[in-house]
Structure 1
Amino acid sequence: MTTNQILIVSLISLLLVMLPAFGLSKLFQKAGVPAWKAFVPFYNTWTMLEIAKRPKHWFFWQFIPVVGWFVTMGILIEFVKCFNKFSFWEHTLTCLLPFVYFPMIGMDQKTRFIGPEGVKHYKKTPVREWVDAGIFAIVAATLIRTFIFEAYTIPTGSMEKTLLVNDFLFVSKLSYGPRIPNTPLAVPFVHHSLPGSTTKSYSELIKLPYSRWFASPVKRNDVVVFNFPDGDTVINKPEFQSMYPYYNVARQFGNGNMDLGRQMILSDPETYPLVIRPVDKRENYIKRCVAIAGDTLEVREGRVYINGEPGFVPPKSQLLYEIETNGQPLNAEFMKDEYDIDINDEQEFARLSGNVFNMLLTAEAVEKLQKSGLVKRITPLLIRPDAVPPTKFTIDIYPHDGKHKWTEDFYGPIWIPKKGATITLTADNYSIYERAIRVFEGNQLERQGDQFIINGQSTNQYTFKMNYFWMMGDNRHQSQDSRFWGFVPEDHVVGEAWIIWMSLNKGIRWNRLFRTIH
């Protein structure tokens, strides 16, 4: 854990023992203990253990990161039992709202101290024992998932070779600060839909605004998990969702005309049922943050430039090359061991004709092949603006306006919005920043010729409320990323990919276990 993460965990531990202090002071008085002891951090939990006559070693367990939070909750429950509080709802309030519940019972004249001897006379039923254990496990796991880390599985090859399909990751929520759920009323341990169905797993009766505790900035070149920005509206069928996003379908149906395509989808709700999702229930994506707020990004001949300087090249990032060999047979095991190329994988390796192949290669593999004498030539297969149909600029590539003749390998320059920075809207950049201003930041935005109307006022100036990021996959020619759908707002950031704890491919990939992610 970083120093920042340790401080966050410690602060949460401190809040757990200090927030109930006022109510504890009233209960301490009922138990015949001086009230001031309730206001001394952790000495108050030591005093509770003495009052309840519970094992003193519990006190020290509180200082184990994260685990200690639940030990503190357990101490609170054991303490409140000494006041004849045994019901399920009483223990739930003790865990979740002690700063409200303790003052209530502390000032309630009917609440009396029965002491640890009185507690011995109460026996739980077997059903209650199981219910308590199950609820505690769910609460503990939910808190860990929300505030500390979450498990994530790599579903596609967009980050190869950095991350492989069926790598199982832990994603740190502490790296950028835990994000409070927008929709807290949800079925535990599932994302947006109930398993095996398209039914929502959450309720929007309670909707919370974006909030992040102890926020830390996303750093350039971090591997980040985030909610898919174009996932606000989806066609709610398994074959669509984020695999075939609604906005892509609409642009294709309208041959680049979004309004026309939208009307075609809306006219057939049985075939294309739509669902609107809040930010925290949009699909999770994982990419590398290649540019942060305030950066200017450009891709030239497949190489990323940040603020005019060559950007970081991930050591395992891949590009597509055309390779002509000297005719020597290619041994599968040798190619895998020496160049990390799986010649049985059609996405990595394809024979075009004779001794000419397409290969997905890392920079290290290219250098080795050039020195090996195995190849006659290595040519990067770049997607050039003059070699693609015009529809690519309206349907595929962001900002989908037909004016910006950009491709995956020749993109930008484009400025990444920064919180507090003001831009001047023009006919040229309107399509780039329109979605951020209107959708992500919740403004009314219209364009009337060369005039722009923001929230009813005519102006060409706009100051951004959030930071934005530019995300790209390390497998640059097989990644649907910001080049196709634009900026990632800070409120969509879930966490930082931290460690690979398991990896499967017809068995366990032992060499990838517990590998940190860079």
Structure 2
Amino acid sequence: MFQSLLTNFALILLILTVVTGVIWTLDLFVLSKKRREAAEKALAEYDQREAKLAADGVRMDTNKREEIASSLLRQPVWIEYSGSFFPVILLVFVLRSFLFEPFKIPSGSMLPTLFVGDLILVNKFTYGIRLPVINKKVIEIGQPQRGDVMVFKYPMDPQVDYIKRVVGVPGDKVEYKNKRLTINGKLASYEPLQDFLGDNNLEYSRQFRENLLGVQHHILNNDDSPVWVEKPMKFPGRENCVYDNEGFTCTVPQGQYFMMGDNRDRSADSRYWGFVPDENIVGKAFFIWMNLGNIRRIGSFQ
């Protein structure tokens, strides 16, 4: 559905952090010491030479000594730039890897909650601390809850990041029949709202306030879309799902989640490609920090 601001940016950032950090450390403890030793030796030789010349009555050039010291103590350009960029790169790496990561919404599958062009922030620690690049959880903090808007690695292609809403947690029985959700036998309630007009396709959709077992948010439906799921894939855990002419029923396996877009009839989600394993989780989306086409979009969302 969408990718982070730069493909493999986490790996690139890690490499830059390691390289600049190694250079900065090497200069701090080794190279700078060698430069000082070389400068002290050169200045001692210079002073000895100047003392001999002074004894012979030759006038000394005091600026020459400063030039020698400055030249020998100056950092090479590659060390200077590495040392300057390292703190900045390290800060970005820590913020992005463990705290917050930016993403851009490229499609309308989460309308009316998220619009095309929304720049969002994702909380990386809500569901636990994970190692960057390999995304392995090392510290348990919390688990995704029904109603959360979550970013995750697309199970069919982990290089791609998706965003959907959690509608089923491990062990849940999720039913979606005639475009109405039922979780563990409890039907979600639906309050009709004013029809929603899409910005891009100028298409009206029916809008509802869905109460997903206590979590309220808006969803869209289209009357011309079928109630059944067309051509679901053969995904891992497919045996946990039963499809019919009214929709489907799925039991969510342990350690996995069932995701759906709020634009229900315009979203490729768990109905089609299956469950999201815990190791694919990126974080919880919680804030729109910019939309260049509509600055009124800035703010938190449900």
TM-score range, shorter chain: 0.5 to 0.7
CA–CA distance in 1 between the matches of 2:261 and 2:141?
Answer: 25
1:417 pairs with one of 253, 263, 266: 253
Residues 473 and 87 of structure 1: CA distance in aligned 2, closer, same or farther (over 3 Å): farther
Whole-Å separation in 2 of the counterparts to 1:315 and 1:131: 58
Matched, 1:85 2:25: no
Residues 384, 504 of structure 1: alpha-carbon distance in 2 compared, 3 angstrom cutoff: same
Higher relative contact order (CA 8 A, sep 6+): 2
Q: What are the superposed Cα offsets for residues 382-433 of structure 1, whole Å, 9 maximum, x if unpaired?
A: 5245xx9xxx4565999778x94336x6111x21112xxxxxxxxxxxxxxx
| Alignment match, 1:456 | none
Unaligned segments of structure 2, at least 5 residues = 1-20, 33-71, 210-220
Task: State the one-letter code of the partner of 2:151.
Answer: V
Displacement of 1:360? 1.1
Number of equivalenced pairs: 229
SS in 2 for 1:483: helix
Shift of 1:315: 9.5
Cα distance in structure 1, aligned partners of 2:82 and 2:207: 53
Q: Among 251, 256, 264, which residue is 1:468 paired with?
A: 256
| Higher Cα Rg, which structure | 2
Percentage of matched positions with identical amino acids: 29
Q: 1:491 aligns with which of 265, 279, 295?
A: 279
- Superposed CA RMSD in Å reads 3.6
- Aligned-partner residue type, residue 105 of structure 2: I
Q: CA deviation at 1:363?
A: 1.7
Contact 1:314–1:474 (8 Å) recurs in 2? no
SS in 2 for 1:215: coil
Q: Is residue 205 of structure 2 the alignment partner of residue 304 of structure 1? A: no
Change (3 A) 1:87 1:416: farther
2:117 alignment partner, one of 166, 170, 188:
166
Q: Does 1:383 align with 2:226?
A: yes
8 Å Cα contact 2:177-2:227 kept in structure 1: no
Residue type at the aligned position of 1:360:
S
Whole-angstrom CA distance in 2 between matches of 1:469 and 1:379? 25
Structure 1 residue 211 corresponds to structure 2 residue 137: yes
Contact conserved, 1:157 with 1:165, CA < 8 A, in 2? Answer: yes
Gapped regions of structure 1 (runs ≥ 5)? 1-73, 89-120, 184-208, 232-278, 317-337, 350-358, 365-377, 419-466
The answer to whether the Cα contact below 8 Å between 1:301 and 1:382 also exists between their aligned partners in 2 is no
Note closer, same or farther for the CA distance 1:314–1:219 as it changes in structure 2 (3 Å cut).
farther
Q: Deviations over 1:64-85 (max 9, x none)?
A: xxxxxxxxxx9xx99x99xx72
- State the distance in 2 between where 1:314 and 1:481 align: 23
**In structure 2, distance between residues paired with 1:222 and 1:314:** 20
**Can you list the C-alpha shifts for 1:272-322, whole angstroms capped at 9, x where unaligned?**
xxxxxxx5xx21000000111111110121011111112376999xxxxxx
In the alignment, is residue 180 of structure 1 matched against residue 131 of structure 2? Answer: yes
**Whole-Å Cα distance in 2 between the matches of residues 222 and 127 of structure 1?**
46
Is the contact made by 1:303 and 1:310 (CA closer than 8 Å) also made in structure 2? yes
Whether the aligned pair in 1 keeps the contact of 2:179 and 2:227 (CA below 8 Å) is no
- SS of the equivalent of 1:511 reads helix
